Chain A
Amino acid sequence: MPASYIDEAKKQFKTDLVFKAEDVPLRCDPPAAELEVTLHGLMQMNGYIIKSLEEIAGRGANAVTYRAGKKFGHEVAKYFEKKDDVEDALRELSYILHGQYSFEPWKPGDRDDYIVEDESGTFIYLVFHDCIVRQTLRRIGEDQGGPFCQTLCGYVVGAVEEITGKRGKLEIIHTGPNACLKKLILK
């Protein structure tokens, strides 16, 4: 006779392990290769939270997610060295975003410099390659450029503001399946 589900579940979670207060985990468990289901669950849940937020709060969802991202950016970057130079700040930023987002400076073929300074401030175009936001949106089949993308904008702006001490803005120029173009403005 097959064991009942309750018996099976109880057996699965039965352990003689003694968990001591001083036990500090030395690594993530299980290994990353086994975390696919966890990652996908998290991506879907995040996606549906943002989707629901947009349905209820409308355009206000953008402000909420932008602020959340900005707080995260300020929090993460506050331990990093402060930089005045834009290139140095971008290097710090790429270090902060490592593993979640990757970007490269970009310019149209007819332009000489990546970093442009004009009366409105300093700006640079960034192409974002790896992006957990894009991955999540594609996982649940949602449009890009909505409130979830604002979390990344806020995150980058928060981190850049913390590093440079200047006011920042990140505009979404184009979103694509493989990369997105954004304009980082520093004032």
Chain B
Amino acid sequence: MIEIKVDEDACVGCGLCVKDCPMEVFQLQNGVSYPAHPENCMGCLSCHEICPAQALEHKGVVPSRRMYISMKVCNMLRKVI
């Protein structure tokens, strides 16, 4: 099962993860997101991508192969960063 952690200090309570998740994994509780049904998470990481505060962390997700990333661009970024 995928474990989901929400950084409560970072979460701004926008509710985007609640709205976006098709499996209703998240709920808003006391103004912050709470993973009420992590057992329903399929690891699509839509919430992860949509979260404006980068407050979500998923453990146990199978990462899909990322063939779309251009290594040329990554190498340039590495030099800058």
Residues of A within 8 A of B (CB): 36, 39-40, 43, 102, 104, 106, 108-109, 127, 129-132, 134-136, 138-139, 173-181
Tell me, rounded to whole Å, the shortest Cβ–Cβ distance linking B27 to chain A. 15
Tell me, rounded to whole Å, the shortest Cβ–Cβ distance linking A38 to chain B. 12
Let me know if B66 and A135 touch, CB within 8 A: yes
Partner of B40, one of A36, A40, A109, A130: A109
Nearest A residue (CB) for B41: A109
Residues of B within 8 A of A (CB): 22-23, 37, 39-40, 42-46, 48-49, 61-68, 70-71
A129 to B42, CA, bound (A): 10
Let me know if B43 and A135 touch, CB within 8 A: no
Let me know if A176 and B46 touch, CB within 8 A: yes
List of B residues within 8 angstroms of A176 by Cβ: 44-46, 49
- Interface residues of chain A: helix, strand, loop or mixed (majority): mixed
Let me know if A135 and B62 touch, CB within 8 A: no
Let me know if B45 and A178 touch, CB within 8 A: yes
List of B residues within 8 angstroms of A43 by Cβ: 67-68
Let me know if A135 and B68 touch, CB within 8 A: yes
A175 to B49, CA, bound (A): 12
Nearest B residue (CB) for A141: B68
Partner of A139, one of B42, B61, B68, B71: B68
Let me know if B43 and A179 touch, CB within 8 A: yes
Let me know if A135 and B40 touch, CB within 8 A: no
| A/B interface sample: 29 pairs, CB < 8 A | A36-B71, A40-B70, A43-B67, A43-B68, A102-B64, A108-B23, A108-B39, A109-B39, A129-B64, A131-B64, A135-B67, A135-B68, A136-B68, A138-B68, A139-B68, A173-B22, A174-B46, A175-B44, A176-B45, A176-B46, A177-B49, A178-B45, A178-B61, A178-B62, A178-B64, A179-B42, A179-B62, A179-B64, A180-B44
Let me know if A177 and B68 touch, CB within 8 A: no
Partner of B42, one of A40, A106, A134: A106
A176 to B45, CA, bound (A): 6
Q: Closest 6 interchain pairs by CB?
A: A176-B44, A109-B39, A139-B68, A178-B45, A176-B46, A174-B22
